[in-house]
Structure 1
Amino acid sequence: MDGVVNVYKPAGMTSHDVVYKIRRISGIKKVGHTGTLDPDAEGVLPICIGKATKAAETLASSYKRYSAVLRLGVTTDTQDIGGEVLKTNEISVSNDEIIGAVSAFEGEISQIPPMYSALKVGGKKLYKLARKGIEVERQPRRVTVYKINVLNIDGAKVGLDIKCSKGTYIRTLCHDIGERLGCGGCLERLVRTETSGFTLETAVSLESLESEGITPFLIPVDELFSYEKITVSGADEKKVKNGNSIQSDGLKEGACYRVYGSDGRFICISKQLNGRLIILKMFC
């Protein structure tokens, strides 16, 4: 069994919990996710099974899209509503000021990763240090917010639609918006609505996977890529399956291709360079 399942992760589960369940349902040990969702977050979590795990890193590096609720006037140690409240403030900002503050975070920005995160510093996960009351210096990281729109404002709650790069902490984004407004803020709710082309509309619940099995929802590995399809045979097929590049004419220089064998099976992703088809990632 090889492919990807677009799982809807419910709140209250870790991403690894979902991986464990898919291993149990599928009977396959080689299973991995494509980007951690916090336990309290929910939404799209593509799960790679079998040979598709080779594509996990590529999928994880893709953009993310979220629907978030920012709670103004509350600052917590975890930067989300589940953390210990450090301070509360009255909210005396207008809707226009809120929209202006949110818009200021569109583009390439710098974030200091939160202490309550799985990021490692000195070989130790930050959240484990935070639970012991230890705070360490974290280096700012550059991330990109491609788009951030205010969906609605209801008192202290601000609905946001965010499209961002890998590594963006939405909790930190909410915290920083609150700081910019001078009243503080934290993340109240987070739903990942899209990543790597997988959307909320096509996500499958764990209950459906339990009752119907994995196969009806499994997306074949080659369908993860939109590159042109080419077929190799004979000596060239043997070379490619052994991991070697081959001489290739008539292909677009610099273009990537999905390469299939004479039996129609997906072999690899290759790139045309200097008249040769170079293997980027094997899947056979």
Structure 2
Amino acid sequence: MHGWIILDKPLGLGSTQGVSAVKRALRACGYGPKLRDLPKVGHGGTLDPLATGVLPIAVGEATKLAGRMLDSDKVYDFTIRFGVETDTLDLEGRAVAESDVRPARAAIAEILPRFTGPIDQVPPAYSALKVDGARAYDLARQGNDVTLATRPVTIHALTLGATDGESATFTASVSKGTYIRSLARDIARALGSVGHVTMLRRIKAGPFTLDSAISLDKLDESAKAQALEHCLLPLRAGLDDIPALPLEPGQAEALRQGKVLTGTAAHDGHYFALEGDTPVALVVVSDGTVRVVRGFNL
């Protein structure tokens, strides 16, 4: 079994728990009665337990593309509640700052261009980033002062949704490495207030959206019905933004052996090399030369 299972991750579930749920479903369908016999399974981008939404789970040869998924853009819906900033910048933390300021909708809309495009961002102290070999969230939970370096990120688009005087909801399309909790903190502070995230939902990760996502209940039902394949998107689905490169059998075999192809008429760039309908490799073309980036054993 090779491809993608896109979970609509529920509140409170960690990304590694999502991977475990897929492994259990695979075992229930008879894939590998022993753990070592299971197909490889991995997730394509961590999603906080307090967040919901799109969590791509790679199965089999798709795990070779999980790293590429980590580098992809993401889209989130999120809500900021103004007036209280917490140490975790979300509902889970304790209050560390308060403000009586509740910004008007017009004021919120006016500052959004300041947070669109390339920006510098300080990640939350409660994050998985490492400081001297230790996770930042572990140090923060131990009561240590955690100072993380500013990092460049890109906010491709930021739009304002509903507001109610206390809270405001946004949709943000962001580059890899962007922390929505930090974005919420900085928006609130720029408005002369403070705030924290009360709702965070990932609605897109790379090419995957909620349209192709399934609930844990649906995953379990499919496993019990021995129909897990119906939940599986093809390996190709993780590369929908890359054009296909059709191969002749001899060319496909050469790439499987790690050889370089020459004389291709394709433009420079990345391609998904196929022999018929069978994925062969993710390749890069440069000056008519084709080289393997990731080969698939299918």
Corresponding letter in the other structure for 1:253: H
> Where do 1:102-251 residues align within 5 Å?
102-213=112-223, 214-225=228-239, 226-234=242-250, 236-249=251-264, 251=265
Give, in whole Å, the separation in 2 of the partners of 1:223 and 1:47.
12
Give, in whole Å, the separation in 2 of the partners of 1:92 and 1:217.
44
Shift in Å, 1:92 = 4.5
Q: 1:149-171 CA distances to partner (integer Å, 9 max, x unpaired)?
A: 11111121101011111111111
Corresponding letter in the other structure for 1:7: L
- Structure 1 residues 96, 134: closer, same or farther in 2, change over 3 A? same
Shift in Å, 1:279 = 1.2
Q: Does 1:257 align with 2:257?
A: no
Query: 1:269 is matched with which residue: 282, 285, 288?
Result: 282
Shift in Å, 1:255 = 3.7
Corresponding letter in the other structure for 1:276: T
Give, in whole Å, the separation in 2 of the partners of 1:202 and 1:278.
32
Structure 2: gaps of 5 or more residues: 28-37
Q: 1:163-208 CA distances to partner (integer Å, 9 max, x unpaired)?
A: 1111111111111111111210111110001111211122101110
| Residue matched to 1:21 | 21
Shift in Å, 1:228 = 2.2
Q: Is the 8 A contact 1:103 1:149 kept in 2?
A: no
Q: Is the 8 A contact 1:230 1:257 kept in 2?
A: no
Shift in Å, 1:257 = 2.9
Shift in Å, 1:242 = 0.9
- Greater shift, 93-102 or 171-180, is seen at 93-102
SS at match of 1:256: strand
Q: Is the 8 A contact 1:174 1:185 kept in 2?
A: yes
Q: Is the 8 A contact 2:252 2:280 kept in 1?
A: no
Q: 1:73-120 CA distances to partner (integer Å, 9 max, x unpaired)?
A: 111110112210113221243221122233321111111111111111
Corresponding letter in the other structure for 1:215: E
- Structure 1 residues 47, 102: closer, same or farther in 2, change over 3 A? same
Corresponding letter in the other structure for 1:273: S
Number of matched pairs: 281
Give, in whole Å, the separation in 1 of the partners of 2:9 and 2:160.
24
- Structure 1 residues 183, 227: closer, same or farther in 2, change over 3 A? same
SS at match of 1:104: helix
Shift in Å, 1:29 = 4.9
Q: Is the 8 A contact 2:266 2:288 kept in 1?
A: no
Give, in whole Å, the separation in 2 of the partners of 1:150 and 1:124.
36
Q: 1:5-31 CA distances to partner (integer Å, 9 max, x unpaired)?
A: 111000111111101111111133511
Corresponding letter in the other structure for 2:274: Y
When the two structures are superposed, what TM-score results if normalisation uses the length of structure 2? 0.90
Q: Is the 8 A contact 2:159 2:171 kept in 1?
A: yes
RMSD between aligned residues: 1.5
Corresponding letter in the other structure for 1:125: R
Structure 1: gaps of 5 or more residues: none
Q: Is the 8 A contact 1:229 1:258 kept in 2?
A: yes
